[in-house]
Amino acid sequence: MQNAKLQLKIQNSKKIKKELPSVQKNISLKNYTTFKIGGKAKYFFAAKSKESLISAIKAAKRINLPFFMLGRGSNLLVSDKEYKGLIIKIQNTKYKIPRSRTSSLRGKQNTKIYAEAGVPLSQLLNEATKNNLTGLEWAVGIPGSVGGAVKGNAGAFGSSLSDNIQRVEVFNINNEKIKIFKNKNCQFSYRNSIFKKNKSLIVVSLVLKLKKGDKKEMEKKIKEYSDYRKRHQPLNFSSAGSIFVNPEGFSAGQLIEKCGLKGKKIGEAQISKIHANFIVNRNRAKAKDVKKLINLMKKKVKQKFGLVLKEEIEYL
């Protein structure tokens, strides 16, 4: 039996190596998450183009290997145990501001930005600001990438990415076809979308429609938002951002704080003393300790307020 298992491992290793020659083995995932928590991935592949991203998905399907799409690792808690499948690291990072094709504006810059799923939100914000395009100032300090931001409809300070999305390019794992979703078909809502509900839809790229803005005003707003984050969020520690979405009409952080849980520690994981909807990695926190804190937060809020907190983070 032991020999049979060993032979199967060898066969699988040869198959994935044949399908994806640049695949890596036994890669620590804690280095690829903002929480700095997680075990090893048996296989790891960096997809640096749209084509290689799709090829990796197809390859994993052909050899019946479980796979997970990893962006910049924010809003994610990775298990301490080994992930026995393939991690596909989304690193397609092309972006551009297309030139207008209309006769009256030909050759002039327009207000649209094309960006692939692996582009960091910070980079997209910088590009928009450089070109006097307003609408993304709220994204300052958010560590995620475009793909994850679309999936979770990222937002802050009363704005969301969906406010400016014109269309999203998606790869459907099931039929292996590319499809363009217009904004109205994306089912965007608070921290949610069709792409979060349907795991077979993988965001490949998007087109944003922004507005012309005043650079000085934009930079002022960016600084204001950045300063707010520094004052109200535990930026000096590794975290996954907000653990829970806010229940309608309530602040998850305030509910947790009113339960007396601010500063509560399990192992090296701690509910932040600054913002109770954050769990921080004090040093070498384990995923199991973070999960215990999450369950405690949910339990206490349910007991005290009768409200069920729903995770904003994703589990692997």
Q: Which residues are tagged catalytic?
A: 191, 242, 312
CB environment 190-214: b (16+ within 10 A), e (fewer): ebbbbbbeeeebbbbbbbbbbeebe
Cα 96 from Cα 110, distance rounded (Å): 11
Cα 100 from Cα 209, distance rounded (Å): 13
Of the candidates 169, 173, 203, 204, the residue with the CA atom closest to the CA atom of residue 57: 173
Cα 305 from Cα 244, distance rounded (Å): 15
Cα 204 from Cα 69, distance rounded (Å): 11
The first and second tokens of residue 247, run together, are 């229940």
CA distances from 75 to 17, 183, 245, 256 (A): 30, 23, 11, 18
CA distances from 119 to 34, 91, 114, 222 (A): 16, 7, 10, 19
The identity of residue 246, as a single letter, is N
The first and second tokens of residue 160, run together, are 């969301």
Phi, psi of 168 (to 5 degrees): -130, 130
**Pairing between β-strand 76-77 and β-strand 95-96 as defined by DSSP bridges:** unpaired
